[in-house]
Amino acid sequence: MLSYCPEGNAIERLWLDVHNNVTGSHRHAQIELVLDDALHCIDSRDGRGARAVATLKALPAEGRIGVF
């Protein structure tokens, strides 16, 4: 039995998706723009990320820094 399997862990798969599509190659000068792209990426994942995105968007911008 494997002690750790990232493919079986939903948050690891989500992070990999965000990393591959946003944080791994962004060219934004402001972290808020990277965060907006990350939230869009999460939200576009067949609706499963919609609740997390709504929660994060409700925070003031300074409160969102360091969330990801």
Contact between 38 and 28 under an 8 Å Cβ cutoff? The reply is: no
**Mean pLDDT, the chain, as a whole number?**
75
Residue 4 lies in a domain: no
Residue 48 lies in a domain: yes
Residue 12 lies in a domain: no
Residue 53 lies in a domain: yes
Instruction: Supply the range of the domain harboring residue 53.
Output: 29-68
Residue 36 lies in a domain: yes
Residue 58 lies in a domain: yes
In the prediction, which pLDDT does 68 show? 45
The string of pLDDT tens digits covering residues 20-35 is 989 888 888 988 888 8
Contacts of 62-66 with C-beta under 8 Å, sequence gap 24+, read: 64/32, 64/35, 65/31, 65/35
Residue 55 lies in a domain: yes
Count of domains for the chain: 1
